[in-house]
Amino acid sequence: MSALQQLRTMTTIVADTGDLAAIDRLRPIDATTNPSLITKALIHPDNQSMLAETMSRYQGNVDAVIDALTIKIGCNILELIEGRVSTEVDARLSYDTQATIDKALEFIDAYQKAGVDSERVLIKMAATWQGIEAARYLETQNIHCNLTLLFGQHQAIACADAGVTLISPFVGRILDWQKRQQNRQNVPVADDMGVQSVKLIYQYYKQHGYDTQVMGASFRSVEQILALAGCDLLTISPDLIDELAAMDVEFTRQLSPEMAMDLDDMQKVSLTEEEFSAAYQEDKVTQNLLPKGIDGFIGARDELAKALAAMRG
Cα distances from 41 to residues 16, 176, 218, 298, in angstroms, run: 12, 26, 19, 17
The residue from 72, 103, 124, 206 that is catalytic is 124
124 is catalytic: yes
CA distance 115 to 25: 24
What's the half-sphere exposure (Cβ side, CA atoms, 13 Å) at 157? Answer: 17
187 membership: H or E segment, kind and range: none
CA distance 218 to 194: 10
CA neighbor of 187 nearest in space, from 223, 239, 151: 223
CA distances from 116 to 107, 136, 179, 265 (A): 11, 23, 43, 41
How many CA atoms within 13 Å lie on the side-chain side of 131?
Answer: 26
Q: How far is CA 145 from the centre of its chain?
A: 10
Give the amino acid at 266: M
The runs of H, that is alpha helices, within the chain are 3-8, 20-26, 35-43, 48-57, 62-78, 97-113, 129-140, 153-162, 171-182, 193-207, 222-226, 238-246, 257-262, 273-282, 284-312
Whole-angstrom distance, CA of residue 152 vs CA of residue 129: 12
Torsion sign over Cα 16, 21, 26, 28: positive
d(CA 199, CA 305) in angstroms, rounded, equals 38
Q: Which residues are catalytic?
A: 124
